[in-house]
Each structure stands twice: as structure tokens, then as C-alpha cells.
Structure 1
Amino acid sequence: MNSRLIDTYNGMLNIEPVKRSRLVKIAINSPSPVLATQIANAHADAYIQQGFKLRTQASEEARKFLESKLAELRDRVEKSEKSLNDFRRDKGIISLDDKENIVVDRLADLNRRLTEAEADRIGFEAQARLIKSRQYDSLPAVIGNGLIQSLRGQIVQLEAEHAKLSEQYLPGYPRLAQVKAQLEESRARLGQQIKNVVEGINSGYLAAAGKERELKAQMDKQKSATFALKDASVEYSILAREANTNKSLYDSVLERFKQINIMAGIPPANVSILDRAEIPRQPSKPNKRLNLMLGALLGLMGGLGLALILEHLNNTLSTPEEVERYLGLPNLVVVPDFFSLPKNASKWKIPFSARSAPFDSKLCVPSKSPVTANLRFTLITEAYRKLRTSILYSRPGEPPKTILFTSSTAGEGKTISVANSAIMFAQLGYNCLVIDADLRRPSCHRALRVSNDRGLTDFLVGQEAALANVIKPTPIANLSVLNCGAVAPNPTELIASKKISRSVSISY
């Protein structure tokens, strides 16, 4: 057989003894519930058959021994009967006188008794062989003993009840202790009964052997007396006795041989199946509920761990408090991302009432659109109003006259913040001038809707003598803009020049 098949079967098979009992549990793991049930039952049946074969080996040895003896005794019977008939023909003996008949009768009686003793001894000898091999269950006396069979059935029932109670109750349970005591008592009685039977067989064997020896001694003595009477009659008697002995012995051994053959076909009752395997209603594994719970637990733990790791690796500033703590500068206002606000007002809640007029789509300027269409920009307007208020109250005495807007990278909203802040101050009546000093990517002229033909770059390089010539008014009252103008190839040198400082001073 292929070793892989054996390994596969061993992987499917699981045999566990039931604690505190003589029971075993056979389990088969297979994708098919019908196949698993069939294999489990077949395995239990095969185990019983194997035990039956092992227990009948001793009976098979006794059967072979008696079979060889039968062949030998058959030859002896044939030879003895032939010798007797030849002697009768040669001597012409038909009958003997009374004395010889008495001697013959006595010899016949001894012969009969010796035959019985020898037959008993052979029978006990066969049983003694079974006892020597400790196969007590194959002894006829054990099999035919009703008390022993009753005790065995009682032990099987007590073992089953003890195993069932052991699974339900602790060792100190009264009924469990009572069943255990009954089980031990039944086992002790069974062992004692088997011991009594074995001792009886051994005693019977010794008695049969002694009786056989004694009868043989008497037989020899009687033979000597018979030889004195008449050689012919003695020889005749000997031949007749030998023929009868061989025939009786042959019949006795043949009967014993038949009994062993009958007992070999009777299975022993010490192994039985309490519960046969049935088709399971649901698979034993995998445990879906347990796997789902473990998966959910591992997912939760993994998610928490990942969140903690991401939180640990996050080095950005997320709240205004963090900005103030790490930069050491006061926070004037928090302006929401203009393009991240929802367009539909029904998707978010307004924390304050919209009291201002409609505004332009990008700047805080009046617009003809209805209030509901520009409701998200109301928050932007309120944010820049807070920025205006914070700047006005940022310095004691008077507010700052020059405000610089800058950022670390492009696209962070400097242009929109400059334009909206200027609009907020202009709405209070302050004269505001927006200077677009971003000489690389100027955009204030687009935000405030002025032309970019002449500007700061033209003044710094000397193409315009007066600063007032490059300052342009905007559609918003009190708001002017000094646009960038032409993009310079060297903006850094222009920004670092002294003329830019004078330009800012002139703008005051």
C-alpha cells in the first residue's frame, strides 16, 4: 500500500481514550460527512475483528495439536484392530473360560477407566495450554459459566454508566462513587470467578494425570497376573484392550476437536460498540463564528495599532493651538479652505446667521447672485472680518500700517487672503494699497481686476519715474493696487534693492 495513503488516513483518524473508563472514542475528519461516518464504523468493526483473530490464535494452536493427535490415533486404532483379528485367526480363539473371562473383565474395567482418565487428562491438557497462554476467555468452563457472562455484561453496563456520569459530575458525586464501587466489586468478582475456574482446571489436570498414572500401574500389575494364566488369553486381551483404547481415545479426541471448532466461531464478548457513528448535521471545523470573532479582534487591534503608528509618524500642525505652540506666534484667525467648502448649503450647517449682502464668487465683494447660491462664501467673509479685527487689536495705540502676506509654497492662498483682507479694511473707510511683490508669479491684478501693463517692476528698474504713475485704482472704494508689471529675470535683486524700501515709505 502507498505510504502516502497511510499517512493521509492517519491524518484523518483521531482515537482518544475516555478518561476514567475503558472506553475509546474514534473520530474521522473528512470533507464528506457520509464518508467520515462509514470510515469510523468500519474502523471500529475492523478493530473488533482483529481482536477476535488474536484471541482465537490460542484455540487454533489447540486445534492443530488435536488434529495431529487424531491422525496418530487413527493409525493406532487401525493397527490394533488388525493385530487383534490376526491373533484370533492364528490361535483360533472364540471364547475363554470363566476365569479368563474374569481376568478379561477386570482388564477391561481397568482399560475403560484408564481410557477415561487418559481422555480426561488430554482434555485438561488442552485447557492447560490455554491457561498457560493466558487466554482465559477461550476456556469452555469460562464460556459456559453463566455467572461469568452475567458479570461481564454487568461490567460493560457499569463502565458505560460510569463514563457518562464522569462527563457530567465531579469525582465526589455520590452516584458516581457508588457506580465506581459497584464496578470494582464486579471486576473483583469476575476475576475471582475466573481464578476459581482456572484453579479447578489445574486441579482437575493434576488429578487426571495422577489417576492415569495410578491406573497404568494397576494395569501393569494386572498384566503380570494375566500372563500367568495363559499367554494366549493375555495376548488376546491385550490386543482387544489396545484396540478398544485406541478407538475410545480417538472418539474422545475427535469430540474435543469438534468442540474447539465450535468455540472458535463464537466471538468474545469483551469488546463491543456502544454508539455507532452517525452522519453529522454540521461540520466540526472550521468554526466560522470563532474565526469571525478572531478576525474582527485582530482587525480592531491592527487598526488601532496602525492609527497609533500613523499618529506617531504625523509631524504636521493640525490645530491652531499646535501652530502657536511650535511657532511661538499668536494666531489671528483660521480661514477655511475656499475650494473645500460644499457648494450646496443643505450639506452643512452655518454656525451664525448670514447678515451680509451677496458677494462675488471669489472675493468678498457684492454679487448679483442670490444669498443661497453663495452661502459658503459667507463663512469666508466672516473669517476675514475676524482677521481684520485681530489686526486692528494686535498692537496697542494704533494698528499696523504695513502688513506682509507670504507663504512657504505657491497655491496656499496668499493672493485671495491679501485681496479679501484689503477689501475688509477698505469697507471700513481705510485707504488701502495692495503691493504685489511676487515678481515670479504675480496674480493680484487678476484678483482685483486691473491691468498688468505697468507696475512695481517698471518703477524699480527706472522705466517709471513716479510711483503714482503705476498705482491703479480698483472697482472697490478706498482700495488701490500696485501690480507687479512685467516679470523680471532677476526678482531677488530687485526685492533686495534699497528702492523697494523707499517705495513702501512713499506709499504711506
Structure 2
Amino acid sequence: MTLQQFLFILRARYKVALLTLLVIVTSTVIVSLMLPKQYTSSAAVVVDVKSPDQVSGLMLQGMVAPGYMATQVDIINSDRVAKAVVKLLHMDESAVVRQQWTDSTQGKGQLIDWLANSLQKKLDVKPSKESNVININYTGTNPEFSASVANAFAQAYINVNVDLRVSPAKEYAAFFEEQTKAARDRLEIAQKTLSDFQQKNGITTTDERLDYETTKLNETSSLLTAVQGQTTDSQSKRQNAKADTVSEVMQSPLINGLKADIARLEAKLTESNVNLGKNHPQTLRTEAEVATLKAKLGAETNKITTSIETTYQVSKQREQQLQSALGGQKARVLALNKLRDELNVMHRDIESAQHTFESVSQRASQTTIESKTTQTNITVLNPASVPADPSKPRVLLNILASVFLGTLMGVGLALMLELANRRVRSIDDLLEALDLPVLGSICSAGGMFKRITN
């Protein structure tokens, strides 16, 4: 079909096309005017994904994930938020609403579920493409109610978001509270065990007592070494040397004085023997004096050797006593070392229990604070206001659409009628119908008249 044929058909059947267009446009206008007016109210909320958590101070990686905004949209569209809106607006307390629910569902199901489903059908949530703003749109027949529902959805979304953060924190807080009590009990048991052990063994400050006992052991060992040296020296003097060669004898001033006196008297005695004779009274007296001095020298020498023997015996006895004391002190130090090892284990148990208690207590405090927080990263940017003009029906847009659709349907109907009752309206129609060459054409009378008159 050529354009000329198409135009001829429209010219011939324009009344059908115009009638179709008129009917569709008229019907659209009537229906648009008869439809109840719908009012759309919009509330905007902004989701802050860059600020750190107010309690922990940490940046939550989940907030910057690509699906975070989509998750927030799903939360707003969830039944939980819708039911929260019903509670906020007290819709389930209205007798009229309850009667509508009864008439609609015959009392089946739950009223709050029916109301939440009704609200969700008229809810439209759209996130911004290049920002963190979410628009919450609600359409209803009452402008005030639409604004109230949109604001209620924004507030319910914030409340549910807070609850989603607080509920796990409450569970964690209860868990960590129990763990804190258990850690505190373990710490108290460890401290009591250490205290009982110290009281049982009479230990106050382990390190200082161990230092004292070690010093005492060292002193005893040094004293034993010194006494053993004295004993060895006394034994050597006692067994391996003559009495007159002992150093104590040789160094004694008294013995040296006696030896000098004896030497002097022996010289005098020799002179007296030569000059006076052996029986002379003076010679005899000198011999008596020499004998007396020698007896005294022997007594003094014997006294010194006896003292060496006494010193050896005393040193030997002292050595035995020190060896016994050293053995006892070693046993005491070893026992204290064993006690110290046990105390070190107990101290480590206390340190471990203390560290565990502090860690769990800190975590419990943090989760407790988190469980009581009312802060969230969502803020109402623009609250919904009462719309002044209805959003539906859009009469002008509907008329334009009906004109376009009516034109298409009118043209289509004209073509269908033409195809159902084909007419010859041009030379092209003859060519298509007869498939014969056209030798000439005769204009209509009207056309001839027009040519003549022109």
C-alpha cells in the first residue's frame, strides 16, 4: 500500500476515524473525571554510610557494600516496618477499620497483617541513584492520611533500624554478662587459692623471703668453707709438725722470752762450771733456774699444742654443725623454690583470670551501652507534607494518551473497514486488482469542471 492509497482511504473513511478518536477521548475524560483523586506524599530519609559507629568508633564495612542501600529499601518494604506503621498510627484500634477487615476477610487472619498488606500496596520506595537518600512515597485518597503514613513509614524505618542494631547487642550483653560473672568467679577462686596457700605455708612476700634464705645459705656456705680451712690447718699442725716448730709456739712472746732466759742461764751455767765448778752453790742454783725455765717452757709449749688440739676438735665440731645447717638451709631453699614455682603458677592463673575478666568486662560494658543506644545512621531529610494537588488521575496526560491511542485506533479501524470492503480509489488500486497496463485515465466530472472553470 502506497502513501497515496493510504491517504485516499483516510479521506474516504475519516468519519470513522474521527468518531473513534472522539469516543476514546470522551471516554477517557469521563473516566478520568470519575476516578477518585489520589494524593501522593513523599518523605525523604538520608542514610549516613561514612560516619563511624558512635559507640565503638569503628567504621562498619557493611555500610559501604554495594547492596547496602538495596537492603535498606527492602527493610522499608518489609512487613515489620508496615506493622510498626500500623502501631504508630493506631489503625488497629479503629472500630471502622476492624469492620472493614471483617467485611473483607470474614474475620480470617490477623487485622494487623491485613492493614500492613494494604499499606504496602500503595507504598513506593525509590533510592536515589547517586546519593544516599531514599524517598518514601505513599499514595492515598486522603492527603492528610497520605502524609501521615509517609512520615510514619520514615519513623518506623528508623525505629526498626535501631531495633535491628539493638536486639543483637542485647543478646550479646546478656551473654557477656554471664561470662563476666563466670570470669569474676574464676578470678576470685584463683585469688583465694593463692591466699590460702600463702597462709598455709606462712608466706607473705615470696621474693624477699627467698632472697633472705638464699643469702643465709650463701653465708652458711662461706662460713663452712672458712671453718673447714681452720680444721684442715689445725689437723696439719696436729699431725705433721713437731711441737717446737708450730707457728703458734714459734711466734709466742712468752716462749721466746723463756728460750732467751734459758739460753742466758745456760751460758752463765757454762761459765760457772768453768770458773766455780759443778758443785759450787751458784752453779747448782743456776742449774736449778735452768731446769725451772725448761719445765716452764715445756708447760707453755704443751699448753699451745693442747690448744691446737682443742681448736681442731672445736673446728671439727663446728664444721659438722655447719654442714648440718647447710643441708637444712639447702632443703629450706629448695622447699621455698618449690613453693615459689607453685606460687608462680598461681600468679599466672590470677593474671590469666584477671586478663580474661577485664576483656570480658570491657566487652560486656560496650555491648551494654550498644544495647541501650537510640542513635542510628538514618535521619529524616524532608518530612512528608500534605499535598495540595492530586497526583492521580492525571487528566491532561490521560487526554494526550487517549488522543494518541484514539488516532491509532481510528486509523486502524478505517484500514480494517477498507480491507473488509475493498474499493477502487486510485490507478494503483486498478493495477493491483486487474494486473493490466493502464492506457489512460478519465477525470471525474467534478474534476473536469474544475479544470474548465479554472
Fold shared per TM-score above 0.5: no
TM-score, normalization: structure 2?
0.33
> Going by fraction, where is helix more abundant, 1 or 2?
2
**Larger RCO, structure (CA 8 Å, separation 6 or more):** 2
